[in-house]
Amino acid sequence: MTRRPEQFSLNLRPGNLRSRDPDARAARDFAARDFMDGGGAPALETGRTRLLVAGMVFALAFIVIGWRLVDIAAFSPGGEPRIAATPPAPAFESGRADIVDRNGVVLATSLPTASLYANPRQVRDPAGAAARLVRALPDLSRTEIRAKLSTDRGFIWLKRNLTPREQYRVNRLGIPGLYFEREERRFYPHGRLTAHSIGFTDVDNKGLAGVERSFDAVLRGRAEPLTLSLDLRVQHVLARELAAAMTEFAAIGAAGLVMDAATGEVLAMVSLPDFDPNRPGTAAPEARFNRASLGLYEMGSVFKIFTVAMALDEGVVTLDDGYDASKPIRIARFTINDFHAKNRWLSVPEIFMYSSNIGAARMAMDTGTAVQQAFLGRLGLTRPADIELAEVGRPMVPSPWREINTVTIAYGHGLAVSPVQMASAVVAVVNGGEFRPATLIKHAEGERPAGTRIMSRDTSLKMRRLLRLVVRRGTGRQADAEGYRVGGKTGTADKLIGGRYARDARIASFAAAFPINDPRYVIFVMVDEPKGIARTHGYATGGWVAAPIVRRVVERIGPILGVEPVRDGAHEDGGEELLVRAKARASKVATN
């Protein structure tokens, strides 16, 4: 017994288990027996119970899992899709939606560009690298690049916004230490042509002008392009003709619009001089100024369209009435004269045709100030245009509106409006008498927004005949396009410079609609400060400067827009009837 402790201690060593020493084995057996006899049985019991509990727990777990398996396999209601969903293909995401014209031509887009930077520490041969780099990117200065690559910095920009071709060329050089950073840049493929209506963005692609500005949030928030009402072809024709006239008459600027007479959509909006929206920073403020929507001008005689329409619609005059235009009107300290003076009694069609200031002034005086104010207000001439641009001029409305204002506004002085306002008002006069706000956003095919009635349909039809008369026999003869019946009105306004009307600085304009028997398009053009030339016998009036622009524009866009030309020799109401009736009345007046 005295060896036991020793045996026990030996027993703890694993090597002893294989001991062949009989003494040791006997002692071990003894020890085991001793262990079982003395308090060993309860421990075994505990072990068994524990095993049972554990076994039951496991069995339960397996039963649950098994049941769940059966449940899924056999009783599942089929909530799981049979075919795994394919992750959707990624769409190219740009931070800003495209802008396209009504035919889907891209006008503004965001292009991924690569900007080239260098880690000068990794450039082993700065001089050689600079020489090769300048060959690939000729607009970089070699000495500058060399200086940049020789610095001891970890990062330096070499060139921002490379074109894909430039990037390819740089990549091909394989100069170590040069890297590209992906950036996005707004690009305007048509540059100057749509500069004023589209506008431009800053370096962070935030809209600063034009549609880019007014639709900034919309463009940011969506992927599909924004479709404008502009038609690039029409825009081009209008821009080209205006530019040609500007050069010919040495004008300082020009503006023009083509609008859809039925919907108020703007098909073309031109303001000259223009600028390159891809480099807005280099443009002069004068060039960035949108004359078509922001510029305010006293339009001159084109306003007689509204004066006559108003007088006819209010029933103040009929087409057979007229006024004595032989003597100038003296009102306040003004004397109102006629430019194309006839010095006799003139019928309403004649007043319109010869653009008599005296006649228009008398008509407006008979109609009254309040009516004129309300009428011009309904035509949208006394509030800023509704067009979706931030650059919209607030018309210069006389306040208070006295009788003298009524008289001068009758022939287009004393109320300065923008060309957009002018064009939308003409749209309302010729389309049957309904005003629709001008818009740069394309309407869905066939959709015609609700308009507000300005005048009776009958008055509108009469105005069409009068407008045609001006082109057939009056001041607008040079607007008579071949194959298309154009109706319109000339305007020549002396410019207000330093509070005085300048004699030699004027706005020559022409407001037209075609085909006049059922107008589809309204054109308004104006040339700022044209100078008379030999061909026009020194004249720089609306009839000599602006009317031919309209003729050429109509002849070009008529076929493009699918307007059916009139046949040669087709019957036309040339307004003779109007004049014959007027003449009969005139002789009656003369004999009385």
The tokens for 334 are 């003004």
Closer to other proteins by CB, 247 or 326: give it: 247
Q: Using the rule CB under 8 A, which residue among 383, 559, 577, 583 binds other proteins?
A: 559
- Burial (Cβ within 10 Å: 0-12, 13-18, ≥19) of residue 71: exposed
φ/ψ (deg, to 5) at 437 = -60, 145
Stretch that binds other proteins, among 100-108, 146-154, 167-175, 577-585 (CB under 8 A): 100-108
Site string for other proteins, 111-150 (x = CB under 8 A): xx--------------------------------------
Contact segment (CB under 8 A) with other proteins among 19-27, 71-79, 322-330, 550-558 equals 550-558
Indicate left, alpha or beta for 141 from its phi (over 0: left) and psi (-120 to 50: alpha). beta
Nearer to other proteins, 91 or 444 (CB): 91
Choice between 549 and 578, CB closer to other proteins: 549
Binding mask 190-209 for other proteins (x = CB under 8 A): xx-x----------------
Nearer to other proteins, 277 or 432 (CB): 277
Beta strands 500-514 and 434-435: pairing type? unpaired
Q: Which is nearer to other proteins, 105 or 134 (CB)?
A: 105
At residue 507's C-alpha, the angle toward residues 502 and 512, to 5°, is 155
Distances (CA, A) of 92 to 115, 223, 543: 20, 9, 52
Find the binder of other proteins among 277, 487, 543, 558 (CB under 8 A). Answer: 558
Q: Strand 334-336 to strand 345-347: parallel, antiparallel, or no bridges (unpaired)?
A: unpaired
Q: Pick the closest to residue 393 from 515, 291, 258, 500 (CA basis).
A: 291
Give the shortest CB-559-to-other proteins separation in angstroms: 4
Least Cβ distance, residue 565 to other proteins (angstroms)? 3
Q: Which of residues 449-488 bind other proteins (CB under 8 A)?
A: 481-484
Region from 71-79, 170-178, 502-510, 557-565 binding other proteins, contact rule CB under 8 A: 557-565
334 binds other proteins (CB under 8 A): no
Q: Among residues 197, 229, 271, 301, which one is catalytic? A: 301
Nearest approach in angstroms of CB 36 to other proteins is 29
Beta carbons of 267 and 258 less than 8 angstroms apart: yes
DSSP assignment letter at 452: E
Q: Is 103 or 150 the residue whose CB approaches other proteins more closely?
A: 103
- Does 329 bind other proteins (CB under 8 A)? Our answer is no
Q: Is residue 159 a contact partner of residue 140, using CB atoms and an 8 Å limit?
A: yes
The answer to whether residue 255 forms part of the interface with other proteins (CB under 8 A) is no
Euclidean distance between CA atoms 231 and 560, whole angstroms: 10
- 571 forms part of the interface with other proteins (CB under 8 A): no
With respect to other proteins, which residue has the nearer C-beta, 152 or 568? 568
Tell me the number of residues near other proteins by CB under 8 A: 36
Least Å distance between CB 110 and other proteins?
Answer: 8
Q: From CA 468, how far away is CA 522, in angstroms rounded?
A: 13
List Cα–Cα distances, 113 to 94, 182, 185, 249, 269, in angstroms.
12, 6, 7, 43, 30
- Is there binding between residue 187 and other proteins (CB under 8 A)? yes
**Which residues, 37 to 96, sit near other proteins by CB under 8 A?**
87, 89-92, 94
Q: What angle do CA 404, 406, 407 make, to 5 degrees?
A: 65
Q: Minimum distance between the CB of residue 100 and other proteins, rounded to whole angstroms? A: 9
- For the question of residue 9 being annotated catalytic, the response is no
Closest Cα to residue 148, out of 132, 127, 162? 127
Does 377 contact other proteins by CB under 8 A? Answer: no
Structure tokens at 84: 């795994």
Please report how close the Cβ of residue 188 comes to other proteins at its closest, in angstroms: 9
Q: Are 382 and 428 in contact (CB under 8 A)?
A: no
Give CA–CA dist 473/122, Å, rounded. Answer: 80
Give yes or no for a contact between 300 and 501, defined as CB atoms under 8 angstroms apart.
no
8 Å CB contact between 240 and 223 = no
From CA 106, how far away is CA 124, in angstroms rounded? 44
Query: Mask of contacts with other proteins, 155-174, x by CB under 8 A?
Result: ---------x----------
Q: Smallest distance, Å, CB 90 to other proteins? A: 5
Contact between residue 183 and residue 161 where contact means Cβ atoms under 8 Å apart: yes
User: CB under 8 Å to 171, separation ≥6 — which residues?
Assistant: none
Contacting other proteins (CB under 8 A), which of 28, 132, 159, 233?
A: 233
DSSP 8-state code for residue 90: P
- Position 12 contacts other proteins (CB under 8 A): no
Q: Of these, 13, 20, 567, 571, which contacts other proteins (CB under 8 A)?
A: 567
Footprint of other proteins (CB under 8 A): 87, 89-92, 94, 105-107, 109, 111-112, 164, 187, 189-191, 193, 232-233, 235-236, 240, 481-484, 555-556, 558-560, 564-567
**Catalytic annotation, residues:** 301
